[in-house]
Structure 1
Amino acid sequence: MNVPIIDVAPLLRDDPRGWREVEQALLDAHSTIGFSVLVNHGVPRNVTNDLFFVSRCFHALPEAQKMALRYGANLRGFLPLNTSTLSRSTLGAARKPNHSDSFVVLDDLDASLRDRWADSTMGGHQMWPQEVAGFEASARRYRAALSHLGMYVAPCFASIMGLPRNGLDRYFTPHNPILRLLHYPALPQRSPDEFGSAPHTDYGCLTFVAQDDVGGLQVQAADGSWFDVPYIEQSLVLNTGQVMATWSRGLIKATPHRVINHPDRDRYSIAFFYDCGLDTPIAPLMPAQPACARCSEPAKRYGDHLDSILRTNYAFTA
C-alpha cells in the first residue's frame, strides 16, 4: 500500500479547479488511509532546514543543559528519553516508554482562555534553550509558516464534510498549534514491543510532519499490517486525528501509526499539530444518517480531551 502524494500548490494560488482536485485527492487519501504526502506546500526550504539544524543542535547538548528545560506542570520544553508511555491509546496501552525525546513549543494562552486553562497541560509559559543560537526565531518562523498552510488545508476538510469552505474557521480562532521537535536515537537491538513512538492515533485535527531520510514512520493498513511512509525531500506528511474523525462521523480516518527506531542511525522529525481551539466542542458536524440518539449528549471540549490524554501518558509534576 502506498501513501498518496498530493500537490497542494493550487490551494496557495486559489485556483478554483485545482482547489477542487486537491479536495478530491485529500478525500480519497484521508477517507481510506488517513495519510498523505504534501508537495509544493509553500513552506520555504530554508525555514524547514533551519529548524532541523537547531533541533539537532539542541538534542546534541549535554543532558544537564537539556534537563534544565524539562517539562513540569505543562507540556512545554524538553521531554527526556523514555518518559512518555502511551498508557491511553486507541490501540491499547504500550508496554514500554517511547524510545525518543523531544522539545515542545506551545503558544502562550490567549487572554480569553487563561482563566479556564491556566492550570491545564496547555498552561504556563514557553521555555527556550539559550545555548542554541537562533532556536526561538527558527521555531517561530516554522510555526508561522505551518499555521499559514493549515489555514489553506483545513477548508478542504470543511468542504469534504459538506460545510462551507470557512465552516471550520471559528473552531480555529484561536487555534492551538503544538510544535514538537523529535529525536529517535538509534536502537541496535530493538525488542518487538519497543518503539520510538508506540502505535497510536493522533488526538487532534491535522498533523504535519517533516521527516529526515532515515525512515521508520509506518501506517497500519486495514488488514492490520504495517507499511512505510516514504521520504520525499521537502515534503510534509499529513495525517488526520481523532477530532477530525469525530467531526466527520468517521468519514475522515484517524489511522494508527508508529515509529520504528533505526538500528544504527538517529532519526529526526518535526511534528506540527494544527489543532482547534481549547474551547471547541468535539461533536459530529456532519448530519447523522439516520438520526443519532447520542447527538443530544453534551460535547467534550477539545482542551479537556487533550488534557485528559496527556495527563495519562506523561509524568507531569505539580
Structure 2
Amino acid sequence: MYISITSILLSLGGKCLLNWVLVFLQKKHICRSFLTTFSASLAVFDAALTLTFTILHTRSDGYVVLFGQLLTSYHICLLVQIVGQIHRVLQWPVVVMAAVDHFCTVTQRLHANTLRAMWVVYLFVSVLLWCLAALYIFLLSDFTPVLEDVSHHHMDRCWVFPSSQTLHITLLLLLTLSCTALHAGRLITLSLWIRLISPNSPLTIQTVDQNQTHSRRSFVLQALHKFVLTWSPFLVLLAVLLLLPVGIPSYLDLSVAWLCFFNSLLVALVLCAVCPASQISQGLAAVPPDSFCEWKF
C-alpha cells in the first residue's frame, strides 16, 4: 500500500503519544514483567524513530548526518519498511517470552530480592530481541525493499507492507480462551442438569465430590467475564480491522496498546490453565502485573 510521508509521520506521532500515555499508566508495573519492560523499550524506539523521520522530512537542506551516515528524505521509505519487518519478526518471540514469564510468575513465588533483580533480565532479553530481529532482517531474511525510482525532491509517498500478523495472533488466542470458556460452561451446565434430574444417582454423588473441578470451571468463566468487560471496545476495534480488506501498516503492527491487550489476554489464559481460584484467594499464587484488568476472585 502507498502512504504519504505526511500520513506516516502523523500516524507515528499518534502512536508515540499513545505509547507513552500507556507506559505512564503502567508506571507502577514497569520492569515487573517482560511485557512491561518490552513496552517501555518499544516506546523509546518509536519515539527515536519518529524524531528521526521528522528531522529528515523538515530539514530545509534535505539531508542530515546521523552516526556518520548521510540520510535524506529518500531514506524514510527504506527505514519504514525495515522497521515494519522488524516488528513482524518480533511478534512470535514476544508472545513466547511473555507466556513463559507469566507461567513462571504464576507457578512459583519469587522472593523480593529475586523480583528486584528480574528487571535486569527483562531489560537484557528485550534488548537482545531487538538486536536479533535487526540482524535477522539484514543477514538472514529475503527482505527486499520496494522503492520508487524518483528523485528524493519529488518523493511524497512510500510503499508500506501491510501486515495482519497481530490480528491473527490475537484471533488465535481469543479462540483458545473462548473454547476453554465454552468447555467449562458446558460441563457446569451438565453437572447442574444431572443434579436436578437424578439427585441420588452415583454420577450425582461423583459430581458433588468434584467441587474443586467445578470451582476451576467457574474460575474460567469469571476470568473470561473480567477480560471481555475490560477490553470490549478494543475487541470491537480488532473485529473491524480484521474485516477490513486493507491490512494494518507494518510499522503500526507492534504497539504498546496491543501489548497491554495481549498482556491481559495472556494473564487470563495462564490463570485458567494452571491456577485455581483458591490459590489466588489464599495468596498461594502470584498474579502477573496487569494495569487494566483487576484479577480478584
TM-score greater than 0.5 by the shorter chain: no
Q: Could you say which structure has the higher helix fraction?
A: 2
Q: Tell me which protein shows more strand as a share of its residues.
A: 1
The higher relative CO (CA closer than 8 Å, separation ≥ 6) is in 2
TM-score for the superposition, normalised by structure 1: 0.22
TM-score, reference length from structure 2: 0.23
